[in-house]
A and B are shown apart, each in its own frame.
Chain A
C-alpha cells in the first residue's frame, strides 16, 4: 500500500506498510509491567526489567514517531483529521482517569470520613474534619491498640498554604496557556521567530511550575510531615498533584519536541498536527490544575 506515488495520497488515505514497532513495543511494555510488579515485591530483577523495558519503549516510540514524521508528506487532510480525533479522544480518556481520583476525593471527604466519625465502634473519639489523616494515618496497627502518643505521632502534619506556591503555580500555568496560544497564532501567521520564542517561554514556564512543585513536595515531606502516608488527605493530595505533575512533565516534553521541530521548520500554517495536539494536552493539564487548586488546595 505504502508503495504509491505522492500524487496518489493526495486523494487516498495513507495505510502504512506492515511494521514491527507495535509488536516490539508490546514486548517493552511487558518488561515494564512485569518489572514493576516484581519491583514492588522486592525482587532485585524488577528494576532491571523496568530499565530494559523503559529504554526499549522510549527508543521504539522515538523510531516510530520519526517514521511518522518522515511519512507525513503523504498524509492527506483525512489522515490529519484522524490524528486530531484520536488525540481528542485520548485526552477524554485522561479526563476520566483524573475523574476517578477526584471522585475518590469527593467520597472520602464528604462521606467516608464523616461516617467513620459517626461509627463510635471503630475509633471512638475520632472526629470528622477536612483535611483528615483518619484516626491513625495509614499505619496499620500490628501490636494491639496504639497508644495516645503513637496516634498523635501518626496524625500530626502541617498544611500547604494555598496562597503561596500553589497560587504562583496557578498563575504560571495560566500564563503558559496564554503564551502557547500566542505562539500558535504566530505559527498560523507564518511568523516563525515569534512562534519559537513564545513556545520556548511556554516550555520554560512548564519547567518552572515543576520546579516549584518539587519545592512544595520537599517542604511537605521535610517540614510539614505531610506525606503519602498521611491518611486520606495525604493520599489524595499526593496522588492528584503527583499524577498532574507527571502529566505536566509529559506535556512539557511534547512541547519541547514541538519546539525543536519548529526550529527545524517542520510546520506550515496549515499542517501542524503535533503542535495542536501538544497544545490541547497542555490546556488539559491546565484545566486539571485549576480543579486541583480549587478542590485540593483551597477548599
Chain B
C-alpha cells in the first residue's frame, strides 16, 4: 500500500484514498462479524479456540475431581461419560483444530507475502459456522438423556441407540466438517496461488508447508467422517443397516470408517504444531533449520502413511492376522519420518548460539515431551502389547503427551512467538517463563502417572476404580487442577500484552527469518498489497 502511495505521490485524491484505507479499520459489528480480513478472522479463531480450551478444560476437571478417589463422589456415571465424550469433542474440534486455523489465518498470508487469504468471504464463513456448530453440540446437554456419552469416537452400536443428543452431535459434526473443508481449501489455494514472486515452494517457511499438507489431509478425511456419521444417522432413523448385523451390517465397519478419518485427524492436529516448532527453533538457535527439504518430505511421508495405519486403533476388535500385522508394521514405519523431524530439530540446536526465551522453552519442551508420546505410541503399535494396553489409561497418557504437550503447547509457544507481531507489544518474559514451567510441571504430574495406571490395568472411561489405583489418580487430579489454574496466567499474559507493554520492534527477535518480520509490529490491517519480492 505505501508503495503505491509513493508511486502516485503527486495524485492527491488518490493519496487520500489510501490513507483513508489505512486508518479506517471497520469497527464494532462490521469489524468482527463481517470481516474479510485474515488477521481479524485469525484473531477470532484464536479467541474461539482459547474459549473452547477453557470449556473443555472445565469438563476435564470434573472428570479428574470424580477420579480423585475411588467410589462415586460428585457426578453419576452417566454424566461422567458425557464429560469424557464432550471434553474430547470440544478439545479436538473446538480447541486444537480452530486454534491452528487461527495461526494459519494470521501467518500464512504474511509468510507467503499475500494481501489476504485467497477467498476472504468464505474464510469468514468457515469461522462463523463454528460457534453455531458448538452451540448445537452444547445444547445437547439440555435434551432428554443429556449430551452424547458414547466417547468422542462415537462407536456404533452405542450411538445407534443413544438419544437425541447423538443427532445433535451428528449435525454439529457436519457443520464443523463444512467449516474445516472450506478453511482447508482456502489455505491450499492461498499457498498455491498467492505466493509473492520468488517465493518458490521449496522456499516456503515450514509452517506453511505443514499447513499445506494438513489442509490436504483435512479435505481428504473430513468428508469420510461426514459419511460415517451420515450412515449413523440413517441407521438411527431411516432403517438402514450399515452397522446392524440383523441386516448384514457390522458395527466394526463404523470403526474402520471412523479411524480412516481418525488417524489422519491426529496428524491434522500435530503437523501444524511441527510447523510452529520449526519456525521457533531456528530463530533462537540462530541457525537455519537443519535439513529443510528432508523436513518437507518427512511431512509428506507422514501424511501419506497416516492413511494406511488406521486399524492400529482396532487391534483388539478381531481382525484377521494379516490385518493385525500390516497395521502394526505400517504404524511403526511412521516413526521413521517422525524421527527425521526430531533429529532435525535437535541438530538445528546443535552448536547454535541458543537463548531461552519463552517460545524457545516451549519448543524444546514440545520436542522432548512429544517424543515421549511418540515412544509410547510405538509401544501401542506392537499388536500383542496393545492387547494389554488398549482402552487403558496408558492410551490416555499417550495421546495427551502428543496432543497436549505436542499440539497445545506448540500453540502456546507460537502465541508467545508471534504475539508481539500481532499486537505490537512485548509480553512479560518472567511471566512467560513462569507459565511455561507451571504448565510443563503440572502437565507431567497429571499425565505421567497415567502410564503406570494403564500398565497396571486401569481402564479408561469409567467413573470409578479399584482402590489400588488411588495414589496415582490423586497425583493426576492434583496435577490437573494445577494445570488448569496455570492457564489463567496464560490469559492474563495475553490480555495484559494486548493492552500495553514494551513496544515490539519490527523484527521482534534477534534477526529472525521470514517475511512476517519485515512488516511493522503490530502488523498493519492490510499487508503486502504490493507483493514483496523474495530473493
Contact = CB atoms under 8 A, between A and B. Distances in A.
B169 to A, nearest CB: 9
Contacts of A4: 17
Contacts of B256: 103, 107
Contacts of A54: none
A229 B239 contact: yes
Interface string B283-298: 0000000000000000
Most A CB atoms within 10 A — which of B120, B133, B237? B120
A33 B250 contact: no
Given A33-B136, A93-B219, A116-B245, A228 B240 contact: yes
Nearest to A89: B185
A136 B220 CA distance: 35
A37 B26 contact: no
Contacts of A238: 240
B247 A100 contact: no
B242 A20 contact: no
A96 B132 contact: no
Contacts of A143: none
A113 to B, nearest CB: 5
Most buried by B among A3, A21, A29: A29
A36 B230 CA distance: 12
A86 B247 contact: no
Given A20-B33, A40-B167, A232-B249, A29 B233 contact: no
Interface residues of B, number: 82
Given A89-B185, A228-B240, A239-B234, A15 B36 contact: yes
Contacts of B222: 93, 96
A133 B248 CA distance: 6
Interface stretch (A77-85, A158-166, A185-193, A281-289): A77-85
A97 B226 CA distance: 7
B220 A33 contact: no
A232 B168 contact: no
A257 interface: no
Interface of A, helix, strand, loop or mixed by DSSP: helix
Nearest to A97: B223
A17 B121 CA distance: 9
B127 to A, nearest CB: 8
A26 B31 contact: no
Contact of B221 (A3, A13, A96): A96
A273 interface: no
Interface string A81-109: 11101100110111011011101100110
B132 A29 contact: yes
Which interface residue of A3, A16, A23, A27 has the most chain B CB atoms within 10 A? A23
A16 B120 contact: yes
A20 B35 CA distance: 8
B21 interface: yes
A19 B36 contact: yes
Contact of A22 (B121, B186, B188, B260): B121
Interface in B241-283: 241-242, 244-250, 252-253, 256-257, 260
B118 A97 contact: no
B181 interface: yes
Interface in A199-256: 227-236, 238-239
A136 B226 contact: no
Contacts of B238: 228
Contacts of A183: none
Contacts of A15: 36, 115-116, 120, 526
Interface stretch (B171-179, B362-370, B388-396): B171-179
Contacts of A40: 167, 233, 236-237
Interface string A123-167: 100000000111111111100000000000000000000000000
B193 A100 contact: no
A86 B240 contact: no
A22 B122 contact: yes
Nearest to B181: A93
B249 A235 contact: yes
A138 B241 contact: yes
A13 B194 contact: yes
Contacts of B167: 36-37, 40-41
Contacts of B175: 29-30, 33
A122 interface: yes
B128 interface: yes
B333 interface: no
Contacts of B260: 100, 103
Interface in B207-244: 219-224, 226-228, 230-231, 233-242, 244
Contacts of A27: 132
Contact of A33 (B26, B30, B33, B174): B174
Contact of B30 (A18, A78, A111, A113): A18
Contacts of B219: 89, 92-93, 96
Given A37-B167, A40-B233, A89 B220 contact: no
Nearest to A140: B246
Contact of A107 (B221, B235, B250): B250
A82 B241 contact: no
Contacts of A101: 227, 231
Interface in B98-123: 114-116, 118-122
Contacts of A197: none
A85 B36 contact: no
B125 interface: yes
Interface string A26-45: 11011001101110110000
B231 A239 contact: yes
A134 B125 contact: no
A115 interface: yes
Contacts of A3: 17, 21
B253 A112 contact: yes
A134 B241 contact: yes
A26 B26 CA distance: 21
A147 to B, nearest CB: 15
Contacts of B136: 30, 33-34, 37
A235 B241 CA distance: 6
Contacts of A299: none
Interface in B393-424: none
A90 B185 contact: yes
A33 B246 CA distance: 30
Given A37-B164, A37-B171, A107-B253, A133 B247 contact: yes
A34 B171 contact: yes
A94 B185 CA distance: 13
Nearest to B528: A13
A10 to B, nearest CB: 13
B200 interface: no
Contacts of B76: none
A272 interface: no
A51 B244 CA distance: 32
Interface of A: 1, 3-4, 12-13, 15-23, 25-27, 29-30, 33-34, 36-38, 40-41, 64, 78, 81-83, 85-86, 89-90, 92-94, 96-97, 99-101, 103-104, 107-108, 111-113, 115-116, 122-123, 132-141, 227-236, 238-239
Given A104-B257, A112-B248, 18 more contacts: A13-B115, A22-B34, A23-B33, A26-B131, A29-B132, A81-B193, A85-B188, A97-B223, A100-B223, A103-B256, A115-B250, A122-B245, A135-B245, A138-B240, A228-B238, A228-B239, A231-B241, A239-B234
13 contacts: A12-B529, A15-B526, A16-B120, A85-B118, A97-B224, A100-B228, A100-B257, A108-B253, A113-B248, A138-B247, A227-B239, A234-B241, A235-B234
